A and B are shown apart, each in its own frame.
Chain A
Amino acid sequence: MVNVLTPQTPERAPGPAPAGPAGHGRRRARHRQTAVAYLFLAPALLFFAVFLLLPLGFALLLSVSHWTGFDLGAIDPVGPDNFGALFTGGSTFLVPVLTNTLLFALGTVALALTGSVVVATCVDRLRFQGLWRTLYFLPIVTTVVAVGNVWKYMYEPGGLANGVLNALGLGSVAFLQDPDTALPSVVAVQAWASLGSAILVLTAGLKSIPASYHEAAALDGAGPGTVFRCITLPLLRPSLLFVCVTQFLTGLQSFALITVMTRGGPGDATNVAALEMYRRAFDYGDWGTASAAAFVLFAVVLVVTLAQLWIFRRAGEDA
């Protein structure tokens, strides 16, 4: 049965508003209603203006200016020089900083997505699902500083990770000190820390798949692998899209974990755009290039997000 909403008031034919005192009064009432509506919207609009539009405009101004961060009267316009400085004269912003950022985000998404699909599928078949979900969600409610420091100790020579390798008869690895392993090591931690939220979304997605589909497939003789590949994964696509986009955005803007674990080192091996922006602005007082870097990162985030949406749409999924 389909519910049909019936309009309570008769529809008025479109046409010019009637002239005369009655039409004038209706216009006034409409204006009054509009004013009241704006009045109610005002707090939200003010919040939006103060905390989003104003900083955005200020950042845009700074990106084409030279400013040391202390005196608002000393903002010195320099045109596009700051953007040029990011990409010329041996600047490290494009390589390795921006490439590290993309690799970090990509690695995090790949690991977290794969891990969460596997874990969510397993959890979906277990008893005490709430308990398992809670356990996997724990890293989300733990502070990044604690997570970063604990993993840092585990990666140290003589730490847990090397202890396991040594117990297996393997030599020690300088996880965070070798430029070849530092970024993957931090990616692994970021993926582990973000697994919980992905599992929550994916288990909800799994629950929304009707059991009858799986039963029908089983009756047709499909094995677990085929069911997973041909039924579960396609129907899980909306959840996967959400996880993919949000994890990628988080990865591109990641800052705290890297600050705690490596401070961008060794050398520039784990330096990412957000950390570079922060240091340029707050440590070196170079707000111009920091703001320019912020807009470059914004452009990258926008392009990557649009690309993800396009890919999923081509695969038949509306965002």
Chain B
Amino acid sequence: MTPPRGPSRRHIALALPSALLAAGCAAPHRGTGRPGDPVVLTLLTHYASGALHRALQGPVDEWNATHDRVKVRTKAVEFTDLLTTFMVRQAAGQGADILHPYCLWNGQLVRAGVLRPAPPEHAERIRRDWGEAAVGAVTVDGTVYGYPTEAQTYALYYNRRLLREAGVDGPPATWPELEEAAYRTTRRDRYGNPLVQGFGLSANDDATTVGQTLALLHAAGGRFVTPDGRSTAIDSPAGRAVLALEHRLVARGASAPAVNVYQAFPSGRVAMVVGAGWWTGSLRPLMGGGYRDVGVAPVPVPAPGARPATLATGFMLGVNTASRHPREAWEFLRWLNADRVTAGNGTAATRMSALQVSVGSLTARADDMRALLGTGGDPNLRPFLDALDYAVPEPNGPGAARAKTLLRKNIEALWTGRRSVEEALRTTRRQVDQEVSRSW
């Protein structure tokens, strides 16, 4: 009889990687695990520095001071690293209990099984207390996945001084007025360099290029993708009208996509531009006294009397499927996003709303926003706030990020004369349809 032998080299070779893999993929250990010790929830966010970091830390400290059994620890990374950090930590079994994603990624996160659906009572509360755009942003395929934290709607920024100098009385309300004002305010030097762009169209990144176009598209009654997110809808009369408008503005020199509008507008070299609400917070310190010339109006509509509409983007707080303490995590989110407290100016609002308004951002709850702004505050925030009632959420299906990039590429091809309006629409439809159908 052969004596029992120890593990062979083959066994070790097989067991070692498996053990390493198992150790790496194991769910993270939260807290000490000893009976009676508090549960520690981790919250991964992009509120990494400055006022945003301090603003979030305030309520978190308050929770930790008033709750013995469940503690919350924040981990912050820059926004540009947020999705990558979600991926890497999740794959390594170190995913945070609470995630703070950009809603564009929701479909991707849901498809990967990262986001946990909100429990019925939370989903019901979210549907009841938040606006349509905010709820749409946190919903994928009919299921709510988290609490909306901030909402960014798009409106028309304009420079009063430049409009006045060109003899334009006020901000345009319709597309013909927009074009007229854009051509009148445009100025170029003798070499063709833009001195003042009438209407800023910037090829800076996906968010800028696509955000501007989709805001105008919604104002024209169109949509980028169908409500179920499974096919594109931009190849429509509204889509044709928007791309034709942009093409005219570029071709006639009123727009110079080569110029970064985020730099040109504050320095008084752009008369009008469509942008998101967060920009007001950056423009104010950047422009100093010059901010007096900045006004904000709703995104112009194609013809007088048309129903206003624009684009809304946002962030949300959701719970990781890998979290060992989902009940505690949802409880913390309810406390942070739904419980009402007395805010700085004596009005009742949620902690998240107070947090957002304190840093000059827009909370996803229009009622809180109105209460917190009161009669004071920056009047330029009002059009963004009003837009919460009629804004259309950004598509957030599984292939939304890729679809957005594909749209941006086709818009740029149109602006640079590489594609006609019809070609751009056709190519966008073909490419995006292929992408979204594959993603679902």
A residues engaging B (CB < 8 A)?
68-74, 89-90, 156-158, 162, 165-166, 170-172, 174, 176-179, 263, 265-269, 279, 282-286
Cβ A68 vs Cβ B258 within 8 A: no
Which one, B82-90, B332-340, B386-394, is touching chain A?
B82-90
Cβ B193 vs Cβ A166 within 8 A: yes
Cβ A70 vs Cβ B90 within 8 A: yes
Is the contact region of chain A dominated by helix, strand, or loop, or is it mixed?
Answer: loop
CA distance in complex: A269, B415 (Å): 13
* B252 at interface, CB cutoff 8 A: no
Question: B263 CB to closest chain A CB, in angstroms?
Answer: 9
* B416 at interface, CB cutoff 8 A: yes
Return chain A residues, CB-CB under 8 Å to B87. 69-70, 282, 285
Among B108, B257, B416, which residue has its beta carbon within 8 angstroms of that of A284?
Answer: B108
The answer to whether residues A177 and B203 also contact, given A73-B25, A265-B409 and a CB cut-off of 8 A, is: yes
Is the contact region of chain B dominated by helix, strand, or loop, or is it mixed?
Answer: helix
Cβ A284 vs Cβ B114 within 8 A: no
Task: Report the nearest B residue to A178, measured CB to CB.
Answer: B416
Among B91, B257, B416, B430, which residue has its beta carbon within 8 angstroms of that of A70?
Answer: B91
CA distance in complex: A174, B188 (Å): 14
Return chain B residues, CB-CB under 8 Å to A178. 416
* B112 at interface, CB cutoff 8 A: yes
Among A71, A89, A269, A279, which residue has its beta carbon within 8 angstroms of that of B90?
Answer: A71
Return chain B residues, CB-CB under 8 Å to A72. 21, 25, 91
Task: Report the nearest B residue to A282, measured CB to CB.
Answer: B84
* B52 at interface, CB cutoff 8 A: no
Question: A84 CB to closest chain B CB, in angstroms?
Answer: 13
Question: A281 CB to closest chain B CB, in angstroms?
Answer: 9
The answer to whether residues A172 and B191 also contact, given A70-B90, A72-B21, A279-B405 and a CB cut-off of 8 A, is: yes
**CB 8 Å contact bits of B255-273 with A (1 = contact, 0 = none):** 0111110000000000000
Return chain B residues, CB-CB under 8 Å to A286. 402
Cβ A267 vs Cβ B413 within 8 A: yes
**CB 8 Å contact bits of B13-50 with A (1 = contact, 0 = none):** 00000000100010000000000000000000000000
CA distance in complex: A267, B428 (Å): 12
**CB 8 Å contact bits of B155-196 with A (1 = contact, 0 = none):** 000000000000000000000000000000000000111100
* B113 at interface, CB cutoff 8 A: yes
Cβ B191 vs Cβ A267 within 8 A: no
Question: B168 CB to closest chain A CB, in angstroms?
Answer: 24
* B125 at interface, CB cutoff 8 A: no
Among B83, B192, B410, B430, which residue has its beta carbon within 8 angstroms of that of A267?
Answer: B410
Could you pull out 30 A-B pairs where Cβ atoms are within 8 angstroms?
A: A68-B108, A68-B112, A69-B91, A70-B87, A70-B90, A70-B109, A70-B112, A71-B112, A157-B259, A158-B194, A166-B191, A171-B191, A172-B191, A172-B192, A174-B258, A177-B416, A179-B416, A179-B418, A265-B408, A265-B412, A266-B203, A266-B257, A266-B416, A267-B418, A283-B401, A284-B399, A284-B401, A284-B402, A285-B111, A285-B112
Most buried by B among A73, A162, A268, A286: A286
Return chain A residues, CB-CB under 8 Å to B21. 72
Question: B187 CB to closest chain A CB, in angstroms?
Answer: 12
Return chain B residues, CB-CB under 8 Å to A263. 205
Task: Report the nearest B residue to A85, measured CB to CB.
Answer: B438
Leading 10 A-B pairs by shortest Cβ distance: A177-B258, A68-B112, A70-B112, A266-B412, A267-B413, A70-B90, A69-B87, A284-B402, A166-B191, A158-B193
Return chain B residues, CB-CB under 8 Å to A269. 416
Interface residues of B in 408-440 (CB under 8 A from A): 408-410, 412-413, 415-416, 418, 430-431, 434
Cβ B90 vs Cβ A176 within 8 A: no
Task: Report the nearest B residue to A176, measured CB to CB.
Answer: B258
Among A157, A165, A279, A283, which residue has its beta carbon within 8 angstroms of that of B258?
Answer: A157
Question: B312 CB to closest chain A CB, in angstroms?
Answer: 21
Return chain A residues, CB-CB under 8 Å to B86. 70
Cβ B91 vs Cβ A266 within 8 A: no
Return chain A residues, CB-CB under 8 Å to B193. 157-158, 162, 166, 172
